[in-house]
Amino acid sequence: MTLVATGTEHLARMGEQVVSADAGDVLACVGLGSCIGLALIDRRATVAGLAHIMLPAAPASGTPNGKHADHAVPALLEAVLELGAARHRIDAVLVGGASMFSFGTDGGQQVGARNAEAVHAELAKLRLHPRAEATGGTRGRTMRVRVADGRVVYKEAGGTEVELFSTPVGLRVAA
């Protein structure tokens, strides 16, 4: 199913985040391979944010930015709160983290798995817990979030669109 809205589709490119309180908007991440698309959604307030996270953590000598989970997750939370989301109503949804690349002679550390672990760790620090996720595997994905109702769909490369998250407002999905 395609998420159709009367507003605009806003694309979160690598290292970027998009947020909206416009019920007509759809937020999207295209080409999530080892990257993680993280959606933070408050359906009651009609607020959603989406970050396209590339790496687990900023290097000690580098400047933190939206490419890294340790910066992107708290920055996305702050952005949705500024638009009127209430922390206790936020649903987190993750997509991506595929095993696209392997480094090292013994198979190395999988970047996608490390990204997913880092996002989970950052969410835990903020006392947020994923309500749904589609991570791992070996195929890239595209995800879309409809701001009006918080519905999240994703599509694997070569696959069909799958609804990942959609519950009535006020109903919490057990973690």
Residues forming the active site: 35
Give the angle subtended at the CA of 9 by the CAs of 151 and 20, to the nearest 5°: 70
Angle of helix 69-82 relative to helix 111-125, nearest 10 degrees, comes to 50
Cβ-Cβ contacts under 8 Å for 57 (sequence gap 6 or more): 68, 69, 70, 118
Amino acid found at 36: I
Q: How far apart are CA 47 and CA 16, in angstroms?
A: 17
Kindly state the DSSP code that residue 124 receives in the 8-state scheme: H
